[in-house]
Structure 1
Amino acid sequence: MATRHSRRQILRNLFTGSAAIAVAPLRSFAAGVPVESALKGNVRHSVCRWCFNDLPIDQLCKTANEIGLAGIDLVGPKDWPVLKQHNLISTMCNGAEISLVKGWNDPQYHSTLIRNYTEHINLVADAGFTNLICFSGNRNGMDDETGLKNCAEGLKQVIGLAEKRGVVLHMELLNSKINHKDYMCDRTPWGAALCEKIGSPNFKLLYDIYHMQIDEGDVINTIRAYSKYIGHYHTAGVPGRHEIDDTQELYYPAIMRAIVATGHKGFVAQEFMPAAADKIGSLKNAVRICDV
């Protein structure tokens, strides 16, 4: 019969061996081993420009092509020619918004937003792109029902043009607990209700997994329940908004399998702030993790 000490040692050995097997692939990629050149094709990968602002846009484009990304998120008209030189697309265009805090929920901004979005919808369409981001704005004491009504009334002024030009507007879900205090579109059911009020296939939600883990949790069930309203995804690790590896609480392979199972045909863009010295290695690792 094994002694208490030997049992403890056996268990320790088993745990250590299992843990090493589990993390070995992640560690090898974190060390900079390249992502496989042939991705599986179930996920359309992208990366957010601002997370790698220390790289010139031309260099980020070259890196995107090396990894196998379809394009780059949150790129405005000024840099679209550079993307096209590298056969990439702006997977989520920006530049029409006033700011995150001044958005469609406040009628005082509607005239400016209608002008901005009319211009940018045409720019996006003329460039051959599809997605354009928008924001609810902050509550500033406004109740959610009033904000919902105001957003719908304003967005309906431009959604007809979006339908005509084949552009899809995406309102981003952001957490109001840590990063964006008082932001109105901070819950998936509220965003889904807005989609229902607008009633157009050209208005969707940008579901940011990092933000919604903070404000809602229950990420996989939420994705399953509201998938028809979601047109785009962003990733990042929780807490801290850093790498999506085993240093944080979300298990991205399961989340990605749930997204693929919904039949999602849009993009998944990496939007984490690299904490590791090898930032490109972190990006490659994130794409590998999400390529289910």
Structure 2
Amino acid sequence: MNRHTFIRQSLLAGAALVSLDPMRSAANALNLLKEKPFNMKFSPEFGIFKELVGKDIIDQIKWGYDQGFRAWESTWLARRPVEEQERISKTVSQLGMEFGQFVGTMNFKEPTFASRDQAIRDNVLKEVKASVEIAKRMNTKFIHNVLGMADPKLPWDFQMANAIELLKRAAAIYEPHGIVMVMETMNHKINHPGMFLHTIPQAYAMAKAVGSPSLKILFDFYHIQIQEGNIIPTLDYAWDEIGYMQIGDSPGRNEPTTGEINFVNVLQHVYDKGYRGFMGMEHGILKPGKAGEVAALAAYRAVDPK
């Protein structure tokens, strides 16, 4: 029996137990994991385990700590009221956890970094400046900024030049505060056709051109597997410019072990290279309800590096 089959059968067995007595079996499964910290800094997002925990955001963080998570992230944090951000930050701090990335500027409709439209570029810098205060409030140094759509009216090299110039200006805003902007490549084939930044070599070239400690790559395994594949060699080549990672299996963008990526090998490789940073859990859960969420927790235990 190969590794993938073994893990899948183990998870199916766990889900079957939950189906016999959902509340008792889910509780038993969770107690087995309680207070055993993960080696990898897996970082859940709000709502990922809502069936087991409920909708209260503070309860979700506390529950996550009990299950061994020592970090948290929230893509849409900037949309939450300041009072809510403060509650999140206080809870994370009191538990001795770390807060990872949130999005500072995001546009999936217009060329932003690739464009020379001054009004659009000014708005990007306005949002970049505003994100500094949120980062301070959350005691995090990672801000994820989306580079927008490609500009079909401009030759590719002009777009690259525009993006590099704007990235330099953003990095100059972040540098005095020790903040790191991370930029994520997004696949064209399934989720985000037309986005400007879509490959790791492209991101690597821009990071090198900007040459700032406040600009790094967000390496999202899901997007990279779809757009490029060749995960480990690509990761190794870009290693010195990678500042943050996110996880999600392909196809489906669900938890590890539900797709084709060998996360046991990949995460062990990352860990052995010395990465101790965030591993954001930006994905869905394959199966519905409590059974699916218990299976996802078991999957993370199965792929946690040694």
Structure 1-normalised TM-score?
0.84
Counterpart residue type for residue 107 of structure 2: S
- Residues 260 and 267 from structure 1, CA distance in 2 versus in 1: closer, same or farther, beyond 3 angstroms? same
- Residues 261 and 80 from structure 1, CA distance in 2 versus in 1: closer, same or farther, beyond 3 angstroms? same
1:241: Cα distance to partner? 1.1
The equivalent position to 1:261 in structure 2, one of 257, 272, 275, is 272
1:24: Cα distance to partner? 4.8
Moved more, 190-199 or 272-281: 272-281
- Output aligned runs, 1:61-80, within 5 Å: 61-69=61-69, 70-77=71-78, 78=80, 79-80=84-85
Moved more, 44-53 or 233-242: 44-53
Moved more, 226-235 or 208-217: 226-235
1:49: Cα distance to partner? 3.3
2:259 is equivalent to residue 248 of structure 1: yes
Indicate conservation of the 8 Å contact 1:173/1:207, yes or no: yes
Structure 2-normalised TM-score?
0.80
Counterpart residue type for residue 138 of structure 1: M
Q: Tell me the distance in 2 between the aligned counterparts of 1:189 and 1:270.
A: 23
1:47: Cα distance to partner? 1.7
Task: Please identify the structure whose Cα radius of gyration is greater.
Answer: 1
1:169: Cα distance to partner? 0.2
- Residues 249 and 81 from structure 1, CA distance in 2 versus in 1: closer, same or farther, beyond 3 angstroms? same
Matched with 2:59 is: 59
Q: Tell me the distance in 2 between the aligned counterparts of 1:268 and 1:240.
A: 18
Q: Deviations over 1:36-69 (max 9, x none)?
A: 632353x211023365678332332133212222
Matched with 1:122 is: 133
Indicate conservation of the 8 Å contact 1:101/1:136, yes or no: no
Q: Tell me the distance in 1 between the aligned counterparts of 2:244 and 2:14.
A: 26
Indicate conservation of the 8 Å contact 1:227/1:262, yes or no: no
Moved more, 124-133 or 251-260: 124-133
Indicate conservation of the 8 Å contact 1:210/1:237, yes or no: yes
Aligned length: 274
1:159: Cα distance to partner? 1.1
Indicate conservation of the 8 Å contact 1:224/1:258, yes or no: no
Q: Deviations over 1:270-290 (max 9, x none)?
A: 112112122432441343134
Counterpart residue type for residue 56 of structure 2: P
Q: CA RMSD in A?
A: 2.5
Q: Tell me the distance in 2 between the aligned counterparts of 1:123 and 1:250.
A: 34
Matched with 1:10 is: none
- Residues 114 and 52 from structure 1, CA distance in 2 versus in 1: closer, same or farther, beyond 3 angstroms? farther
1:145: Cα distance to partner? 2.2
Instruction: Name stretches of at least 5 consecutive residues in structure 2 with no aligned partner.
Output: 19-25
Indicate conservation of the 8 Å contact 1:231/1:264, yes or no: no
- Output aligned runs, 1:25-64, within 5 Å: 25-27=10-12, 32=26, 33-34=29-30, 35=33, 37-41=35-39, 43-49=40-46, 51=48, 55-64=55-64
Indicate conservation of the 8 Å contact 2:106/2:147, yes or no: no
Aligned-pair identity (%): 20
Matched with 1:131 is: 142
2:183 is equivalent to residue 174 of structure 1: no
Indicate conservation of the 8 Å contact 1:75/1:92, yes or no: no
- Residues 136 and 144 from structure 1, CA distance in 2 versus in 1: closer, same or farther, beyond 3 angstroms? farther
- Residues 144 and 73 from structure 1, CA distance in 2 versus in 1: closer, same or farther, beyond 3 angstroms? farther
Indicate conservation of the 8 Å contact 1:29/1:284, yes or no: no
Matched with 1:11 is: none
Matched with 2:22 is: none
Counterpart residue type for residue 247 of structure 2: T
SS of residue in 1 equivalent to 2:100:
strand
Moved more, 206-215 or 227-236: 227-236
- Residues 105 and 289 from structure 1, CA distance in 2 versus in 1: closer, same or farther, beyond 3 angstroms? farther
SS of residue in 2 equivalent to 1:274:
coil
- Residues 190 and 57 from structure 1, CA distance in 2 versus in 1: closer, same or farther, beyond 3 angstroms? same
2:91 is equivalent to residue 86 of structure 1: yes
Matched with 1:221 is: 233
Q: Deviations over 1:13-53 (max 9, x none)?
A: xx5x9987554544455555233632353x21102336567
Matched with 1:287 is: 300
2:103 is equivalent to residue 112 of structure 1: no
- Output aligned runs, 1:202-213, within 5 Å: 202-213=214-225
1:161: Cα distance to partner? 2.5
1:156: Cα distance to partner? 1.4
SS of residue in 1 equivalent to 2:44:
strand
2:99 is equivalent to residue 99 of structure 1: no
